[in-house]
């Protein structure tokens, strides 16, 4: 976190709105926010009735990181993503994304993020290009900018040759790449992806990984993804956190976590140790939902 000094104290107009993070002052300009952490979460909790889905979560993700959030079905990964993308309010605790409080400055957060949800979000009855035009409008991109951004996104996601085809004719991997292109059109600082490669074959999965790495290099995008795929977490993520029953049990660099677990340990071993490999109540509903997503993309 940045240190508090007179230069980054919130201005008088922001103080009454309780924008407690210094770099969250919108009057101080974009440059001021550039080195804000991608995500800062303290004591974040979320209840669904009696169920405590998130239990005093702490998480810190630096700018430019590619961070993996792991955990068994029902551990609270999607709930975390929904709070960070302002789709859900926390029951307690605080969360900042790109320097803005998700509860007190949700519009500022939304301007700076992209989100690819677990369920398929691209419109199957439109072409790839039409989906992108729709997203460009939703993101408020000016007409003059739209064409070049769409062409660039299609090229980056290797979809230029199929841009005019209906999305219902796309493979699962192409749909995911299109959705990432849609989420990136406005060049967000932080990209959230909920199980981006679930249901994809190994080739399609590797293509998505390559595209995500490229986004990071080309635009310095910070990426937070959830995954059940230990290989994905191992080869793609600079750091991971493992959630278990709404709490972070393990956090760190994959190679260090493996070494700490044992000389021949894999990330599977780290995961099993961190979660105790127990079957949680309510897991059936979560497994069924994940399978539905996989079937739609497969």
The footprint of ligand ATP (CB under 6 A) covers 48, 51, 53, 71, 73-79, 282, 285-286, 290
Answer for the pair 258, 266: CB distance below 8 angstroms, yes or no. Answer: yes
Tell me the angle at which helices 143-156 and 202-219 cross, rounded to the nearest 10 degrees: 130
Q: What is the DSSP letter of 10?
A: P
Instruction: Name the residue with tokens 């600079």.
Output: 238
- Cβ nearer to ligand ATP, comparing 152 with 286: 286
Could you tell me the smallest distance in angstroms from the CB atom of residue 239 to ligand ATP?
18
Tokens of 31: 């440059």
- Cβ nearer to ligand ATP, comparing 51 with 89: 51
Could you tell me the smallest distance in angstroms from the CB atom of residue 233 to ligand ATP?
13
- Cβ nearer to ligand ATP, comparing 143 with 281: 281
Could you tell me the smallest distance in angstroms from the CB atom of residue 227 to ligand ATP?
9
Could you tell me the smallest distance in angstroms from the CB atom of residue 62 to ligand ATP?
23
CA dihedral sign, ordered 70, 72, 78, 84:
negative
- Cβ nearer to ligand ATP, comparing 135 with 226: 226
- Give the number of C-alpha atoms closer than 13 A to the C-alpha of residue 231, restricted to the C-beta side: 6
Could you tell me the smallest distance in angstroms from the CB atom of residue 294 to ligand ATP?
11
3-state secondary structure of 178: helix
3-state secondary structure of 160: helix
- Cβ nearer to ligand ATP, comparing 9 with 284: 284
Nearest residue (beta carbon) to ligand ATP: 286
């Amino acid at each position: 976190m940045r240190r508090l000094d007179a230069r980054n104290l919130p201005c008088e107009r922001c103080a009454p709105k309780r924008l407690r993070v210094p770099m969250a002052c919108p009057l101080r300009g974009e440059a001021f926010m550039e080195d804000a952490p991608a995500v800062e979460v303290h004591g974040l909790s979320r209840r669904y009735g009696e169920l405590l889905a998130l239990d005093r979560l702490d998480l810190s993700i630096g700018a430019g990181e590619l961070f993996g959030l792991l955990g068994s079905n029902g551990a609270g990964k999607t709930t975390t993503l929904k709070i960070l993308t302002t789709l859900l309010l926390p029951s307690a605790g605080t969360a900042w994304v790109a320097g803005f409080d998700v509860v007190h400055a949700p519009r500022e957060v939304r301007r700076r993020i992209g989100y690819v949800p677990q369920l398929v979000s691209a419109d199957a009855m439109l072409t790839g290009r039409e989906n992108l035009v729709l997203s460009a409008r939703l993101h408020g991109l000016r007409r003059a900018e739209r064409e070049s951004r769409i062409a660039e996104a299609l090229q980056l996601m290797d979809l230029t040759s199929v841009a005019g085809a209906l999305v219902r004719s796309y493979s699962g991997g192409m749909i995911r790449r299109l959705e990432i292109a849609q989420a990136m059109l406005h060049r967000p600082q932080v990209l959230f992806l909920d199980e981006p490669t679930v249901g994809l074959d190994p080739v399609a999965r590797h293509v998505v990984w390559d595209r995500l790495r490229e986004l990071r290099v080309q635009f310095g995008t910070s990426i937070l993804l959830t995954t059940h795929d230990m290989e994905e977490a191992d080869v793609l993520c600079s750091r991971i956190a493992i959630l278990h029953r709404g709490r972070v049990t393990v956090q760190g660099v994959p190679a260090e976590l493996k070494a700490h677990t044992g000389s021949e340990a894999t990330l599977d071993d780290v995961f099993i140790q961190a979660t105790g490999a127990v079957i949680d109540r309510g897991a059936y509903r979560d497994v069924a939902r994940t399978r539905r997503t996989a079937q739609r993309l497969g």
